[in-house]
A = this chain, B = another copy of it.
């Protein structure tokens, strides 16, 4: 039930003006505030006592730690109660609607909180969490379509404002720390292709192809034939448009359909940033599909946001940003591979690369915040700012991981070492 924010003015006058006209209210007001402060302190303790200060609508300051990294303004009492009732879900909502404001750097504030909040003890890992996923639908063929369109069909013009020129909306690979976002996304595409050891003339199935960057890159630079699946209408339309210029030989077929309907036989399977949306309960189904389409010498790669241990996605992001999404732990991912005797060849954790990628996205997003507000509204701008900044912070502080898992049929004749991934660019066969 939504609580309407009461006017904060009377409280303020009670506290700040000892010569109030209604002295009888004073003790009660002070008691209420003491209770609020107690609840807030309790909440701060529960989330690990981050070094932050809370400022109430009346100017009252609550500060449980000595060094303060950031300050949060709560604009009304209703916001305070909402926040206390479920900080994970309501902070984002209250921030988006400006009933909570972060004073100073949003990133500093988030880092101060994230560094202590996910204080992962054995106890916490074992705890069951029951969260509301009201906006999400189960990832059936129909439900997945709904969930995916919620996020990816916000409009290509919106994503163009802050993604790289290739429109790659997944973690980049910063071979060198000072690479531009464009260079790092290109390096990621090649890192993936090299892990797959693609050879000209081979066939590749891509599940969840975004705006088509990887499919077109594989076809153009590695000479492979690609079938690329996606259920986002806008993305597929964009990818097809793009293929007219970038794939004159017609090596890539973009298919607006669910990965589960894929058919044919392929030398390689690849999926970048789709698994987050699949749901653990569908992993065996995904493995079965890969097992169905992969040739005997076949290999594959899955690139996904992941977690150190299974837990639901945070309640706010799950409701407002990514309905139906849930990043897996590595043990959960193995449900794709183990029932089908696939060999895991290589797992690389690129967590810090995602923090850097998100840093670039957030910068570009901020540069175009006015345009985004024109496209949507201010609440949308604040919601996405928080989503980008929060994700950046989670990757930076170790709350989220980025796994690239390369796998193959059990008898795949894998190369002895991974040295080919680290040859200098010059030494490679002119792909770049």
Residues of A within 8 A of B (CB): 115, 118, 120-122, 125-126, 174-175, 177, 288, 291, 308-310, 329-331, 334-335, 337-349, 351-353, 397-399, 401, 403, 409-412, 414, 416-419, 421-422
Cβ contact of A411, chosen from B291, B329, B341, B398, cutoff 8 A: B398
- The answer to whether B417 and A175 touch across the interface, beta carbons within 8 angstroms, is yes
Given A175-B417, A338-B331, decide whether A348 and B346 contact each other with a Cβ distance below 8 A: yes
How many angstroms between the C-alpha atoms of A342 and B306 in the bound complex?
A: 13
Whole-angstrom distance between the alpha carbons of A284 and B412 in the complex? 32
Given A347-B347, A399-B410: A329 in contact with B339 (beta carbons within 8 A): no
User: Known contacts A343-B398, A348-B418, A397-B410; can you find 18 more A-B pairs with CB under 8 A?
Assistant: A122-B339, A125-B338, A125-B339, A177-B416, A308-B337, A308-B341, A308-B343, A309-B341, A330-B338, A330-B344, A331-B331, A334-B334, A343-B351, A344-B347, A398-B409, A398-B410, A399-B410, A418-B418
CB-CB nearest in chain B for A401: B343
Please pick, from B174, B175, B338, B349, the residue contacting A310 in the complex, using a CB distance under 8 A.
B338
> Cβ of A174: which chain B residues have Cβ within 8 Å of it?
416
Knowing A331-B334, A347-B346, A349-B346, say if A341 contacts B410 (CB, 8 Å).
no
On chain B, the residues within 8 Å of A126 by CB distance are 339
The list of the 8 closest CB pairs from A to B, nearest first, reads A120-B341, A331-B334, A398-B410, A347-B347, A309-B338, A422-B422, A398-B411, A331-B331
A410, closest chain B residue (CB): B398
- Give the Cβ gap from A195 to chain B, nearest Cβ, in Å: 12
- Write the chain B residue with the least CB distance to A173: B417
B338 adjacent to A122 (CB under 8 Å): no
Q: Known contacts A330-B334, A352-B416, A418-B422; is A342 also within 8 Å of B308 by CB?
A: yes
Closest to A287 in B: B122
- Complex formed: what's the CA distance from A154 to B61 in Å? 71
Question: Hey, which chain B residues are within 8 Å of A345, CB to CB?
Answer: 349
- 26 cross-chain CB contacts under 8 A: A121-B341, A122-B291, A125-B339, A125-B341, A308-B338, A308-B341, A308-B342, A308-B344, A308-B410, A330-B331, A330-B337, A331-B331, A331-B338, A334-B334, A343-B349, A343-B398, A343-B401, A344-B347, A344-B401, A348-B418, A349-B414, A352-B416, A353-B416, A417-B422, A419-B422, A421-B422
